[in-house]
A and B are shown apart, each in its own frame.
Chain A
């Protein structure tokens, strides 16, 4: 499942959603938080492209499910006004085995970082894209 929302998410609730059935032997979750990009704690805003965002996230999730035998997967991304230290993104997967769960979770966040149309703005400054994120995503695309 994918969700784009302004509201915060609850880790325990999301964890429990991934624990479905006796076959779940491994759960890997990732949480991204709003870092302090500059010294002043100015307003933080997350813009996205409604419609395309959901399409891209769904595609990333379904690709992960094609590559690895997952039991459940979940992507949640927040948008709108946020503050430093807020949770911003959740990626969680359950699988029978940990290697599949680790790989699928990393794959989803790496692709999300470079493909999903979200843009961070701190104060009146748009945050610049990170080259290291491109490199991280590329490793999956050349497989």
Chain B
């Protein structure tokens, strides 16, 4: 296999609650030509889509989960991962 294939990262991204409303997007499949890819690098890439998408860089409040586990900013996102971004939870 070529290196080219390995450097492509296909992600299934979910945006929950108020964040989904702000972005006008609840989910998408996204392929990024960068590997390894960290959570903070993904935030930067997504934030370049326009003003509304700057919300994704609010890492203090907008949490990120990878394959349904809370991730930190330097966590590497595996290929084909389910990535979720969401605001502080308000259940209970």
Q: How many A-B residue pairs have CB under 8 A?
A: 71
Expressed in whole angstroms, the Cα–Cα distance for A116 and B89 within the complex equals 7
A2-56, CB < 8 A from B: 32, 46-49, 51-52, 55
Interface size on A, residues (CB 8 A): 28
| Interface contact B84-A126, CB-CB below 8 Å | no
Q: For the complex, what is the distance from the CA of A11 to the CA of B90, rounded to whole Å?
A: 23
Interface footprint category on B: 10 to 19
Partner of A49, one of B21, B86, B90, B92: B86
Q: How far is the CA of A24 from the CA of B92 in the complex (A)?
A: 26
16 pairs of residues in contact across A and B, judged by CB atoms under 8 Å: A47-B16, A48-B91, A49-B16, A51-B68, A55-B68, A109-B92, A112-B92, A113-B89, A115-B89, A116-B89, A117-B65, A119-B17, A119-B90, A119-B91, A126-B21, A129-B90
Interface residue ranges, B against A (CB under 8 Å): 14, 16-18, 21, 65, 68-69, 84, 86-92
